[in-house]
Structure 1
Amino acid sequence: MLFDLPDHATLYQALLDRDPGYDGQAYVCVASTGIFCRLTCPARKPKPENCTFFGTVGECIEAGYRPCKRCYPLEPMALADPAIATLLAALDERPEHRWRESDVVRLGFDASTVRRSFRRQFGMTFLEMARQRRLRDGFETLAAGGAVIEGQLDAGFESASAFRAAFLRLIGKAPGSLSRDPLLFADWVPTPLGDMVAVSCRSQLHLLEFFDRKALRSEMIRLDAFAKGRLGIGQTAPSEQIKRELQAFFDGCSATFQIPLALHGTAFTKQVWEALRQIPPGQTRSYSQIAVGIGRPTATRAVARANGANQIALVIPCHRVIGADGSLTGYGGGLWRKQKLLEIERHYLGSELKGATRVSG
């Protein structure tokens, strides 16, 4: 469980001390490098604000981090299963390769056995691990100002058309169409519940969504139209701020989101979103309760539509809305994430952080 680990300060001190007592029990993910390590890693120690701690390597990989090449955090899993050791070594040697099951078979392994082994150890298949690594490498190359061809090569796509199609599915815009003088910037945000994309201008956050949300592509297209085609990739002060605030949230340190928001919606929709921000972490409301709370008791369906139109996940906590019978209802990020977020927020229930999700905008 996420909060079974000691607090951030304790784990950071263990990292500084290279405490072997946490070996295999805790790992550090470093936002500034995209790498995760054992706490005994001999590498130079990162700043505490750049560190997120997890209890398993699977959580680190799902959050989008790559294993350190100095302390080899995947080594125990590799030693326990020769197939894992061989495939991880092959991935390190050819991170740009477009891996297929036929490659796994060619290396002498049964594809279904490998799928089960990787899912058991990491919560994802080998092919999913390889694909995530390739796409993130390509995205980061473009975000750092690299050319499209560099992003294509770093992502391991042999053809420009294949890279273009993958990128188009990801953010709704082909890499060659990205603005060189953006008004809005897309940035990659790793979290324990999966990678997210943040879209911001230089002063406000416009979107925060999980990459696998079905509505993401259409939301990105609308934002591109709002920016008159000036959507690009890069980091901004708001995107860096939301990374810090999400890290604090998942670390169990703070449920406060102070990131300035740009809200794209009607007056009624914004009223509903404001009501969502009033729900304290650890608590839930039904659509009908929200409708009554905003003085529109007959507008339950309209409230549900406004809730579903939210494109700033977690900060505007639409996951705190449940059915009138107490059941979980639809959530664009997936019901499993909704359940997990509600479990995480029980940590804040009854604390001094009640109501702390209110943000400026």
Structure 2
Amino acid sequence: MKIVYSHYSFQYSGIDGFAARLFQLLSRETTVDWEIVTTHIPDQYAHEVQQWGTIHSAPEGLEAYSTFLCERIHNADLLIATSPYDLFAARTIAPKMPIWFWAHGVTPVWNWMCRLCQTLDVTLFHINPQLARNFHCSAGRHWVPRYDLQKHSQTCLELLYFGRLDWVNKRCHWGLQLIKAIQKTGLDIRLDYVGSGPGEAALREKIHKMHLGNQVRLLPPVSPFGDQSWMGRYHHILSFSKLECTPLGVLEGVSQGLLPIYTPVPFRAFDYLADAPLELGPSPKIAAMVALISAHWTAGTTRTPDQYGPLAQHFQTRFSPEQAISELRPFLLKLQARKPDSGAFDSLWSANCVKFGFRKSRQTSLFSR
């Protein structure tokens, strides 16, 4: 079975990390030839990714990327799409191709995306049930219920930022403002950034200028293939994203008992975490954020896994690649049993390539096998 996984920029965190673990498990279910189509993958992860699939470097630019993707998915049994662009390109060229779409970020609020997703075989999904209704599919294992605040014992408050270091969309530098404000209350606090990205150099410079070298550390990225229990030493996980409704890095931390500190995002996509006591508003409201942290910060007993709140326990048992595999197994069997007629497929493919203006690559024929 040939499966193509498409992500314009493979960051190996968040959605890509969870997907990678999912695909490892899928490979145990059946013989799978994985092909990963992306414009970029970090050097430190390329070798690891090559162990479970073949990487195809696509050209940048949406039109060039879509054309390249359509070449790669010809004769594929399944496309796993992660953005509206690769999903729409594949649906345009090969309307009968089985597609699994990974819904994330603000994608589900677009009406045309909701209608398109209703035609798909599977929608991999990790947003709240209200938005799930747009897809007419269940979100039972993918949403976060209420939970009780846990008490911690250390005298130092440990915060974690996990994921891509990006100033524009992730707003990772907001963590420094938060640390500076909390310091003024006299609370002993530490912040670790675990990850990499285009904002790393600027973040280091900002830490130096704000004299936070003793309170803030930049640590190398952690492979999502490993055991994430290392997160358990922290108390809060931070998300300052202005777009994502559920950064998977945050849910990883929640699964280890961390309380999320997050920014409101468009379309109230974080409503299902509204019972969390810590919501970070715009910068002027950071003082209120500090007051909330101080109010909930009390000494207690050392945490053990059985002391995690219902949120963490629910997430640990239900939001997992193993759970996802059990639900996706029937679709894999269906795919194996319905190999399309190659002649009819080629005819439809050729007609749509001409109709929608997709061009053959100069190096590789669109119809090569």
**Do they superpose with TM above 0.5?**
no
Greater fraction helix: 1
Larger relative contact order (C-alpha < 8 A, sep ≥ 6)? Answer: 2
